[in-house]
Amino acid sequence: MSSFTKSTSFNRRALSSLSVESPRSTSSTAFNSPIGSAFASPRTFGGSPRPYTNRLKEISYLFQVLIVAGTLVSFLVIIAGGYLYVVPSLGYNGALQFNDTSVIINSKECDIFDGSWVVDASYPLYNASECPFVERGFNCLGNGRGHDEYLKWRWKPKHCNVPRFQVRDVLERLRGKRIVFVGDSMSRTQWESLICMLMTGLDDKRSVYEVNGNNITKRIRFLGVRFSSFNFTVEFYRSVFLVQPGKLLRWHAPKRVKSTLKLDVLDVINNEWSSADYLVFNTGQWWVPGKLFETGCYFQVGNSLRLGMSIPSAYKVALETWASWIETQIDPNKTRVLFRTFEPSHWSDHRSCNVTKYPTPDTQGRDRSIFSEMIKEVVKNMTVPVSVLDVTSMSAFRSDGHVGLWSDNPLVSDCSHWCLPGVPDIWNEILLFFLFRQQVP
């Protein structure tokens, strides 16, 4: 198993209007047609007959003119043909090229998210056991996973390439910047992945540290890692819904209602995000009955409790709240905004988790998500440019990439989160492509 796929004419111009005047002519008469003049009956000039030899000179002169004209036309054809042949071969087709094998795509010509997973022995990009910012629960090899085939896959779009990760180049481009991830634990996993990828380019690992001295845990609302030698930070803000959870204020609400989710209010920590150079959002894993209704959490808009509102409808309202904040609080000349789509899990019936050895050839419908479609719909109508990192389909094949039983709690299987190194590294390669190699559409 080596790959798993997603989804002359030439216009000739007549020689005309050539006027050849006889050097022996004593009048203003000229030949309007050289060919006709050469083969017509003899004419007289100045009242005397034209000698036969003059006709031969005219014919010779005519052929010289034709030869010169033909040579000029041939030269122009050769030049034009060379241009049409050579220029496209240099890659100028509305796209740019860099390196030997990496192509900068034009969104009209190549969908970077439409491709397949191919075996690549140059992966993984780092060793999780050597990176202090990987949670123990995501270090599958360190937790006893016996095979590493899941680490050897690279995403290959159909009509272009994802640029190879060049760590020194990325470190320089991030110098003095602030990149912020906002979302749930999947966002935190991607955050950890990026830090580990970047640390491979540093000799002094001690120059990288968490700004508050915190260990990486699931519950901390803010984590920031500083790369002091390059003066930039990679930060994570835990905001699983993006909008603000709230306590129930109405005493006469049904007993099943314990708390609300304020769909029209962005998370109160949003003031920490707006000054970032790069903002990467995600949300989706918590928008399920088990995290909402079964815990007594229902939806609220303004002062109104929306008991009958469905999760997809509530998700759409929350996204519109997020979009409104982006358009009023973000300066697109300073901040680049991206939204990563829903990451499919691979739970089977009855919440059983079967982590495969290789990617699956069939996504079983996981390549589409109503959440991902809503994200793209909302972003399409925004005035501030937002890049959508549509990882849903490509990740749907990677049933081999989940934590499974190789976590810090082997008694609880996990088909939602991802091993590190692994699939989130590919998300980050695509993220870096969007940050540094492609203009916002």
Q: How many structural domains comprise the chain?
A: 2
Question: Regarding predicted confidence, which is higher, 87 or 411?
Answer: 411
Question: Which residues are part of the catalytic machinery?
Answer: 185, 414, 417
Mean pLDDT of 219-227: 95
273: pLDDT strictly greater than 60? yes
Task: Give the Cα separation of 366 and 413 in Å (integer).
Answer: 19
Is residue 2 in a domain?
no
Question: Is residue 48 located within the same domain as residue 177?
Answer: no
Task: Give the Cα separation of 187 and 347 in Å (integer).
Answer: 20
Is residue 3 in a domain?
no
Residue range(s) defining the domain that contains residue 46? 34-89
Question: Is residue 217 located within the same domain as residue 322?
Answer: yes
Task: Give the Cα separation of 280 and 377 in Å (integer).
Answer: 18
Q: What are phi and psi of 280, to 5 degrees?
A: -120, 115
Question: Is residue 167 located within the same domain as residue 78?
Answer: no
Mean pLDDT of 269-294: 96
Structure pTM?
Answer: 0.76
Q: Which helix (H) or strand (E) holds 85?
A: helix 52-89
Is residue 40 in a domain?
yes
278: pLDDT strictly greater than 80? yes
**Whole-number Cα distances in Å, 224 to 211, 232, 235, 266:** 6, 10, 4, 21
Question: Is residue 81 located within the same domain as residue 139?
Answer: no
Can you give the pLDDT at residue 6? 53
- To the nearest whole percent, how much of the chain has pLDDT over 70? 74
Closest CA to 222 of 240, 209, 235, 208: 235
- To the nearest whole percent, how much of the chain has pLDDT over 90? 66
**Whole-number Cα distances in Å, 407 to 143, 195, 218, 345, 410:** 6, 20, 14, 16, 6
37: pLDDT strictly greater than 80? no
Is residue 173 in a domain?
yes
What three-state secondary structure class fits 414? strand
DSSP 266: E
Grade residue 18 by pLDDT with cuts at 50, 70 and 90.
Answer: very low
- Cβ atoms of 243 and 318 within 8 Å: the answer is yes
Question: Is residue 121 located within the same domain as residue 165?
Answer: yes
Question: Is residue 81 located within the same domain as residue 142?
Answer: no
Question: Is residue 283 located within the same domain as residue 237?
Answer: yes
Average pLDDT over the chain reads: 82
50: pLDDT strictly greater than 60? no
Can you give the pLDDT at residue 78? 55
Spatial CB neighbours of 425, under 8 Å, sequence gap ≥ 6: 123, 124, 125, 126, 193, 197
Task: Give the Cα separation of 312 and 287 in Å (integer).
Answer: 8
Question: Is residue 172 located within the same domain as residue 315?
Answer: yes
- HEC assignment per residue over 39-68: HCCCCEECCEECCHHHHHHHHHHHHHHHHH
Is residue 409 in a domain?
yes
Residue 427 tokens, joined = 């998300």
- The size of the chain, in residues, is 441
97: pLDDT strictly greater than 90? no
Question: Is residue 72 located within the same domain as residue 132?
Answer: no
Mean pLDDT of 170-175: 97
Mean pLDDT of 239-250: 88
Closest CA to 315 of 375, 273, 379: 375
pLDDT per position as a tens digit, 306-337: 999 999 999 999 999 999 999 999 999 999 99
Mean pLDDT of 61-88: 54
Question: Regarding predicted confidence, which is higher, 90 or 381?
Answer: 381
Mean pLDDT of 16-41: 37
Can you give the pLDDT at residue 14? 35
Question: Is residue 128 located within the same domain as residue 63?
Answer: no
Task: Output the DSSP codes for 352-378.
Answer: -B---SS--S--TTTT--HHHHHHHHH
Is residue 1 in a domain?
no
256: pLDDT strictly greater than 50? yes
Question: Is residue 49 located within the same domain as residue 162?
Answer: no
Question: Is residue 120 located within the same domain as residue 72?
Answer: no
Can you give the pLDDT at residue 38? 36
